[in-house]
Amino acid sequence: MKVGIIGGSGYVGGELLRLLIQHPEMEVVTTTSRVYAGEYIFRIHPNLRGFTDLKFSPMNLDTLAKETDLTFVALPHGSSVKIVPKLVEIGQKVIDLGADFRLKDKEDYVKYYGWEHPTSGLLEEAAYGLPELNREEIKKAKIIAVPGCMSTSAILGLAPAIKEGIIEENRIVVDVKIGSSGAGAKPTRASHHPERFGGVRCYKPIGHRHIAEIEQELGKFTSNPISISFSPHSVNMVRGILSTIHTFSKKELETPHIWKTYRGMYGNEPFIRLVRDKKGLHRLPDPKNVIGTNFCDIGFEIDSHSNRLVIFSAIDNLTKGAASQAVQCLNITIGIDEETVLKTPSLHPA
C-alpha cells in the first residue's frame, strides 16, 4: 500500500516515518514539507539516516491522488480542514492527526478553537480514531481523526469506570503532566529550553480544548452529563504524559471490583497494560516505561478517606498520543493485525 504524509517534518511526522518505513505492508512514496522541500528526510529526522533516502516534497494534491492510496495529515490545528475535504473528494482515505475532525458538534469548534468549521458536514462521517473504543467506525470511515494526546490518556483511563457507573460523572478532575515535545517542533518562548528546564508550569488551567473530546467520547457510555475539570502542566521531560485522574465513587469500592471492571473492558486489548504492583520501583504507571511505544499503562488506588478512586494513565504523547495510534488505525482499516510494526517494548533505562 502506498501512503503519503502531509507535514512530515515535525515530531509527529518523524514518528510516523519511523514506523511506516519499517511497516511490511506500506511504502511511503511522498512526504511533504513547506519549509524543507527538496531536503533529505534524515537531515531533519537524524534517527532515520540509513533507513530512507526520501526527500521532502512540496504538497501537490495531484501527486497524492496518482501515487498514493492513503494520506496521513500531520498539520497544526485549523490547517487540515482546508486540505482533508479535497483529499476525500479525489478518493483518498485520510488519517488526520490534527483536531479539525475530532469533534461532532460544530459549535464546539467555536467554543474551544475560536473558529467556525467550514465543512461541518464531514464531522459526522469522521471516525474518532481511538481503537479501543471505536474499531468498527474506524474500519468504515473515509476520515479517521486521531485523538489528542492528553485526551487519549484521559479517555482510556476513565472509560471503564464511566461505563460501569461506579463514579460520579459530574465530578472528575484530570491533572496532566506532559513533556516538551507536546509543544511541537517549532520553538516558542514557552518551549525555549532556559524557560522550561527545571520547572513545572501549569498552562491553560481551565477551558482546555481537550475537554470537548473527553466529554464527547465518555458521554457514549452514560446518559448522565459528563463534566471534566482539566488542567495540564508542562514538566521537565521530553516525551510522555501522566494523567492523574481524581474521581469520586457512588458507593464503597473494593479492589477486586476495580480490577474486574478494567480487565472486563481491556483484557483483550493488545496495547493496554494494567499496572498496580505490590513490589518493585514501578508500582504504578510511569510515562518513562512507555516511551516510543503504543502502550497505555493504567493503574489505580482507592482512597476510602475521601471516597476517591484515583486513576493513573501513562502514554508517550508522540506515539500512542499521535503517530503509533494513527498506524494502529491504519492496520485496522486495511484489515491486518493491529500489532503490526507496533508491538515493541520501550527502552529501559531511558
49-74, pLDDT tens digit by residue?
A: 999 999 999 999 998 989 999 999 99
pTM, two decimals, is 0.97
Other C-beta atoms lying within 10 Å of the C-beta of residue 57: 19
- 325: confidence class by pLDDT, cuts 50, 70, 90: very high
CA–CA dist 244, 321 (Å, integer)? 16
| Average pLDDT for 18-45 | 97
Contact yes or no for 156/296 (Cβ under 8 A): yes
pLDDT at 197 over 90: no
Q: Is 198 exposed, middle or buried (0-12, 13-18, 19+ CB in 10 A)?
A: exposed
Confidence of residue 105 (pLDDT cuts 50, 70, 90): very high
**pLDDT of res. 208:** 96
**Cβ–Cβ < 8 Å for 9, 36:** yes
Which CATH superfamily, name and number, covers 150-315? Dihydrodipicolinate Reductase; domain 2 (3.30.360.10)
Contact 118, 84 (CB under 8 A): no
- 279-309 pLDDT, tens per residue? 999 999 999 999 999 999 999 999 999 999 9
Q: Residue 342 carries which DSSP code? A: T
pLDDT at position 232 is: 97
Distance CA 337, CA 191 (A): 38
| Mean pLDDT computed over 33-38 | 96
Which has the closest alpha carbon to 318: 193, 154, 126, 178? 178
Q: Is there a catalytic annotation at residue 149?
A: yes
pLDDT at 188: 83
Under DSSP, the state recorded for 15 is H
Domain spans of the chain? 2-146+322-333, 150-315
Q: Which residues contact 273 (CB under 8 A, 6 or more apart)?
A: 295, 296, 297, 298
Mean pLDDT of 114-139: 96
Residues forming beta bridges with residue 96, ordered by sequence position: 73, 145
Residue with cell 522550561: 196
pLDDT in tens, 223-264: 999 999 999 999 999 999 999 999 999 999 999 999 999 999
Map residue 214 onto helix, strand or coil: helix
**Which of the following is catalytic: 149, 202, 296, 329?**
149
Instruction: Kindly tell me if the per-residue pLDDT of 186 is higher than 90.
Output: no
SS3 238: coil
Helix (H) or strand (E) holding 272: strand 272-274
**CA neighbor of 157 nearest in space, from 225, 75, 245, 217:** 245
What percent of the chain lies above the pLDDT cut of 90? 93
Q: Quote the pLDDT of residue 185.
A: 84
Closest C-alpha among 2, 10, 1 to residue 323: 10
* Cell digits of residue 205: 488551567
Asked whether the domain spanning 150-315 has the same topology as the one spanning 2-146+322-333, the reply is no
Q: Are 316 and 237 in contact (CB under 8 A)?
A: no
pLDDT band per the 50, 70, 90 thresholds, residue 347: very high
Identify the architecture of domain 2-146+322-333 in CATH.
3-Layer(aba) Sandwich (3.40)
Radius of gyration of the chain (CA): 20
Q: Average per-residue pLDDT in the chain?
A: 96
Least confident of 167-181, 189-203, 289-303: 189-203
